[in-house]
Structure 1
Amino acid sequence: MNITKTLDAKGLACPMPIVRTKKAIDTINSGEVLEVLVTDKGALNDFAAWASKGGHTIVEQTEDAGVLRFLIQKA
């Protein structure tokens, strides 16, 4: 899967990772993939709800060394 853009939101607390993700996803085209890196554990629920509401798809979600990585395909 090709990543179109990466957003590093590590160290930011809710709601900033979602706010920055919305701004970043607005800059890519439908079908493209945004990679988001976050450390806020609340992002697990936040991203699932946000993606569902916006029609976007979380195609991959992983965690490594306390960093959550989301690959989000724009609707």
Structure 2
Amino acid sequence: MTAQPTWRMTSEQAKPLVERLWDPDTPEEESSAILVSLEQGLVCPPILNFAYWDFDPELTAEKVVDRALNCKPIAL
């Protein structure tokens, strides 16, 4: 059984982080820290896939976050 996080990031908290992640001027170390925060706060390991490997030509931070918030863990 996996422990559930005691804190979950809101959409309003996550959207600016996704935008910062996409900013080409964001240093690599900061990008890595943002990614970890998003994965843990949204409880969604594939957030990186949603942010970078989506074929939606009009991808927005809101779409990425909404998709991540709907991510459900798979019970093995």
**Is TM (by shorter chain) over 0.5?**
no
Q: So what's the TM-score if we normalise by structure 1?
A: 0.33
Answer 1 or 2: which has greater strand percent.
Answer: 1
